[in-house]
């Protein structure tokens, strides 16, 4: 078999991105020759075969990716993933600690300042009473309470005149 015949024997599969164009339907208002109908059927068959081949390749790639992801890891790969996971966890913990420290500094800055109104919102009665006592000791005046139920304690205080 020559090289030219080998190329014709194995049709090249088009890339998944490039879908083939669908052959135009036969005009039903015209009588077509049996050869034209046969040629159209062959074109439609080739079109559908190409679509099926593209879908099969896509499924094979997905299955190969899934098989690769579900394979048994070597000790080195497992160690590398463990180290990576540990670094990510440390980064998350550091970010969480930074957020907590920032919130604490903001809270301390608020306690040190004298805003015209203070809204106290706490989830526990103890922390609510501590905040309330702090602002009352700074001579703030109680104005209103919106919620005072388990898990949500709120109060609004206004600055001394």
pLDDT digits (tens, 9 = 90+) for 112-131: 788 888 999 999 999 999 99
DSSP state of 127: H
**What are the extents of the domains in the chain?**
30-71, 72-113, 114-161
Q: Is the pLDDT confidence value at 10 over 80?
A: no
Per-residue pLDDT of 28-78, as tens digits, reads 888 989 999 999 999 999 999 999 999 999 999 999 999 888 888 899 999
Q: H-helix or E-strand containing 9? A: helix 3-9
Q: What is the pTM of this model?
A: 0.43
Q: Is the pLDDT confidence value at 11 over 60?
A: no
Question: Residue 155 burial (CB < 10 Å; 0-12/13-18/19+)?
Answer: buried
Cα 94 from Cα 102, distance rounded (Å)? 12
Q: Averaged over 107-111, what is the pLDDT?
A: 80
β strands within the chain, DSSP E:
117-122, 141-144, 148-149, 152-158
Say what the pLDDT of residue 95 is.
97
Per-residue pLDDT of 12-32, as tens digits, reads 555 556 788 888 888 888 898
Q: Cβ atoms within 10 A of the Cβ of 23, count?
A: 15
User: Which stretches within 32-74 are classed as H helix?
Assistant: 34-69
């Amino acid at each position: 078999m020559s090289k030219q015949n080998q190329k014709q024997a194995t049709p090249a599969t088009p890339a998944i991105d490039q879908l083939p164009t669908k052959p135009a339907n036969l005009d039903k208002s015209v009588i077509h020759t049996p050869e034209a109908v046969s040629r159209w059927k062959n074109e439609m068959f080739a079109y559908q075969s190409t679509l099926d081949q593209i879908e099969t390749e896509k499924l094979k790639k997905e299955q190969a990716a899934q098989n690769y992801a579900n394979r048994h890891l070597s000790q080195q790969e497992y160690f590398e993933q463990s180290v990576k996971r540990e670094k990510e966890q440390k980064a998350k913990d550091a970010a969480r600690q930074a957020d907590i420290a920032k919130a604490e500094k903001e809270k301390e800055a608020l306690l040190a300042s004298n805003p015209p109104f203070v809204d106290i919102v706490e989830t526990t009665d103890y922390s609510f009473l501590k905040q309330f006592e702090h602002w009352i000791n700074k001579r703030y005046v109680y104005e209103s309470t919106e919620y005072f139920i388990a898990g949500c304690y709120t109060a609004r205080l206004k600055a001394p005149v």
